Structure 1
Amino acid sequence: MKSYDWIVVGGGITGAAVSYELAKKGFTVLLLEKYPTLKGATRYSYAILPYWSSTTDLTNQLFQEAKERYHCLSEELETSTQFRELDLLLTIALKDDPEKIAATFNHYNTIPHLISVQEACEMEPLLNKEAIAGALTVRNGHVSPEATTLAYSQAFTRLGGQIEIAEVTGLVKTGDNATPRYHERITGVYTTGKTHHAANVVICAGGISRHFLKSVGIHTRIYFTHAEMLEIPPTDLQLHTNVMPAVQERFQCEATTSTAEFEQMWDEPGHEFVPFSLDAGAIQFNNGCIRIGQISRVLTDPHAKIDPVQSEVAMRSEIGKILPALEHLTATWHHCLIAYSADNLPLIGAIPNQEGIHIFSGFSSPFAFVPPLAKRFANYIVGENDEIIKQLSPHRFV
């Protein structure tokens, strides 16, 4: 019976990057992914790299490492990530005072530049000048989420890593009914019809991580929103910038709903803590497709049913105010879960009181933070001291 050094659960950007970095260290690694084609938050991501938005020494260091990493990552992985830099426009609503909105960005490492309506429309001719009071602009990094994840996965298999398409249904534990839970050890995972054994398991399952871990009796302070977006197939219409609202409600929803007072309710299906938020933004990828959205719903049931018709109407209406040319283009509605934590930083490392299991999830900016942190995680596993990985440990919430 084959046993691996590591089993990685989840084949999105987090799982693919962690698998690659662990395999680079010489570990035998099995990556398990439920779907044969990319789905979930990785597939429907904007894949923006907001280097400018750091507010602490820790996030500033990670953003700088990410920027350096992406400049050489395609060469290292031998496949293009479609890395590029482009202008971001943060639109300011008519009801808001541009100077006051600009002041809220003064604590960022790179302060976006306040520009007039006319200047914004010169940068992005598709903007509706009657719908905004101004805008902020700054340079962003950007990659293709599909290309980047595929690049990591292919590089992983070239190193001898194995990928299997299978749904993980449970964890293999040592001990018996008399063994205290904190003396148990995770020694593998169950999939439909199979058991895989490993010295360590790392959960990289994004928004479903909390639900999965709860199903096997493990509590973590990780949460999720139901995110919705529309994808327009490749079009000749050209966006010159990435457009997002300057005031994004999603982050306020996350901060409000990850406090200790809601913790017990998170494990009960059927709760919706706050009304849904809609942040009207749009980004065009190299192949010409455009993703617009997004709606964020804080629903405690990961399998909650959502009416795509009403959501599409709402998203089209809001994006139509800012970018009228996009409102009526053919598009497909998509839905996924997005993970977040109680302090807007990811959870990385061993799960408290349970040997053999780790987590690598909860990223607010996954395509920026995952490459440097996956590398740091693998270095930490082989004994390198890393104060950043220690700071991101799930133990901080115990």
Structure 2
Amino acid sequence: MEAEFMRGAGPIDDAAALDDSGALQGSAAGGPVVVIGAGLAGGLLALELAGLGLPVAVVDGPGPAATPLSYGGIPWWAGPPGPLDSWMAAAPSHWRRLEARHGPLGLCPCDLVLHWPAAADAAARQRQEGVLQQVEGLARRHLGADQLQHGPPLTGAAGAASPVAAAASGAGGTLRLGYARVDVGVLAVALPGALRAAGVRRLIQRVSTIEPTRSGWRLRLEAASGGVGDTLWARQVVLAAGAGCRSLWPSLPQRLRFSWAGALLVDRLPLALPSGDAIVMPLLGQRPGLEDRSAQLQVPELIVDVGWAPSGTGWLLGQSSLVGPGTDLGPPPDPRHTELCLRQAVSGLLPALAELPGRFVQVPVSFTNPGLPLVGAVAGAPGLWVFAGFGGPFALVPALAPLLAAAIAGDPAALATLPGAAPVAGGG
């Protein structure tokens, strides 16, 4: 069964680069390479590897992906001092470089509107002011004064103020900042074509196991309809499947963790919204705090951050996150309950939005706690790499993908620059 599937008997875009043993052809020093995952991380890394002349295939299972549920924001000015700041600040130039090589991928200018409600007490007001000062401090390093604008609260902008906001007599507010985004609807259509044009082979099948061999790696693919699974061989493998990484290599660092993310896909938003086509997010988002305390959780915890962003011809509304105890993904939450929680949270800001018809979708995603994303070689597994656990992926992935590609191709200087996949003190 190994060679038969690889010659095109299964769901594969192009099998021309696979020899009769099911192995990728090519003699480049760092290849051949199989990237598991064809979302934002896997797709951009595959483009960079192909640009270095390495033979590359991406393997991606069917089903919903995490990238289309992202708001696509590029927080390029928001990196804390250190390597994150330089990587994130370079993100717009990396996206422009990618589009110059591969055609439009959805990059477009936009504003970010941060909103906050009336503070319930002095402590809440102090916290809001502290976070606001922090955000403005980060932004002013890169943005001009005209790109930071304070405004009134969003509550009631669609003609339906909540009772809490009315009692607060207009307290709360918004901050509009210069930003950038990648339209994930455009990217989802453009990226597969860019991969084909770059000579990257794409297999639409799920990987069940990976095993080291004397000369590289053996990937066993899940069988369709109860048949016998197929096998793919490669010299190097990159785990870029987000929440699917640990199931393939359980000994990844414990700081790689997972959550269930959800959003409501709607066709339109009320035209009266003052935010226009900006990305809207809460100043005090709950997801970072939930991820920070993930190691202390005893039971699953669900939060909802109220915001929205354009996506293709529609919009993404709200962001739900469920994190469970431990480092395993855990079962998905009841989508009906999670959608209800999301709509209730949105109703607290703008009831008109909560009533919009739409389709709720949830997918598993990865994050790291503590520390930087996992980008580098996997300890004790020669030829195995990981590219996962991003916060702010649309800013970090395009900056780190060229470095990881160079490291895979054998550049020691690039390898030394990467955040790495080795355990960190206290993080496993």
Matches of 1:188 and 1:219, distance apart in 2: 22
Structure 1 contact 213–219 (Cα < 8 Å) conserved: no
What corresponds to 1:208 in structure 2? Answer: 244
What corresponds to 2:113 in structure 1? Answer: 89
Matches of 1:22 and 1:87, distance apart in 2: 32
Give, as a single letter, the amino acid of the residue that structure 2 aligns with 1:247.
Answer: L
SS at match of 1:47: coil
The structure with the largest alpha-carbon Rg is 2
> Relative to structure 1, is the Cα distance of residues 333 and 245 closer, same or farther in structure 2, using a 3 angstrom cutoff?
same
Matches of 2:213 and 2:131, distance apart in 1: 55
Give, as a single letter, the amino acid of the residue that structure 2 aligns with 1:346.
Answer: P
How far has the Cα of 1:13 moved from its partner? 1.0
Deviation sequence 1:67-120 (CA, Å, 0-9, x none): 112234323212x222222221111121242534423435525378472426x6
Counterpart selection for 1:242 from 279, 293, 307: 279
Give, as a single letter, the amino acid of the residue that structure 1 aligns with 2:173.
Answer: G
Structure 2 contact 366–389 (Cα < 8 Å) conserved: yes
Gaps of 5+ in 2: 1-20, 25-31, 142-146, 223-228
Counterpart selection for 1:63 from 77, 88, 97: 88
SS at match of 2:422: helix
Counterpart selection for 1:283 from 309, 314, 317: 309
Alignment TM-score, normalising by the size of structure 2 = 0.78
Please say if 1:163 is aligned against 2:188: no
What corresponds to 1:153 in structure 2? Answer: 192
Identity of aligned residues (%): 23
> Relative to structure 1, is the Cα distance of residues 46 and 54 closer, same or farther in structure 2, using a 3 angstrom cutoff?
same
Matches of 1:127 and 1:76, distance apart in 2: 46
Q: What is the 5 A alignment of 1:163-202?
A: 163-174=202-213, 186-192=216-222, 193-202=229-238
- Bigger shift: residues 89-98 or 343-352: 89-98
What corresponds to 1:230 in structure 2? Answer: 264
Structure 2 contact 185–312 (Cα < 8 Å) conserved: no
Structure 1 contact 55–109 (Cα < 8 Å) conserved: no
The CA RMSD measured in Å over matched residues stands at 2.8
> Relative to structure 1, is the Cα distance of residues 322 and 33 closer, same or farther in structure 2, using a 3 angstrom cutoff?
same
Deviation sequence 1:27-61 (CA, Å, 0-9, x none): 111111101x6x22112111111112111231221
> Relative to structure 1, is the Cα distance of residues 351 and 64 closer, same or farther in structure 2, using a 3 angstrom cutoff?
same
Structure 2 contact 322–333 (Cα < 8 Å) conserved: no
Give, as a single letter, the amino acid of the residue that structure 2 aligns with 1:138.
Answer: L
Please say if 1:138 is aligned against 2:177: yes
How far has the Cα of 1:26 moved from its partner? 1.1
Please say if 1:115 is aligned against 2:150: yes
Counterpart selection for 1:76 from 101, 104, 116: 101
How far has the Cα of 1:307 moved from its partner? 1.7
Structure 1 contact 9–205 (Cα < 8 Å) conserved: yes
> Relative to structure 1, is the Cα distance of residues 13 and 389 closer, same or farther in structure 2, using a 3 angstrom cutoff?
farther
Structure 1 contact 114–134 (Cα < 8 Å) conserved: no
Matches of 2:265 and 2:304, distance apart in 1: 16
Matches of 2:413 and 2:136, distance apart in 1: 30
Please say if 1:54 is aligned against 2:79: yes
Deviation sequence 1:187-207 (CA, Å, 0-9, x none): 221102211111100000112
Structure 2 contact 269–353 (Cα < 8 Å) conserved: no
How far has the Cα of 1:18 moved from its partner? 1.1
Give, as a single letter, the amino acid of the residue that structure 2 aligns with 1:77.
Answer: H
What corresponds to 2:344 in structure 1? Answer: 317
The total of aligned residue pairs comes to: 370
What corresponds to 1:42 in structure 2? Answer: 67
How far has the Cα of 1:373 moved from its partner? 1.1
SS at match of 1:105: helix
How far has the Cα of 1:319 moved from its partner? 1.2
SS at match of 1:208: helix
> Relative to structure 1, is the Cα distance of residues 274 and 34 closer, same or farther in structure 2, using a 3 angstrom cutoff?
closer
Structure 2 contact 375–419 (Cα < 8 Å) conserved: yes
Give, as a single letter, the amino acid of the residue that structure 2 aligns with 1:87.
Answer: D
Gaps of 5+ in 1: 176-184, 263-270
> Relative to structure 1, is the Cα distance of residues 311 and 385 closer, same or farther in structure 2, using a 3 angstrom cutoff?
same
Give, as a single letter, the amino acid of the residue that structure 2 aligns with 1:276.
Answer: L
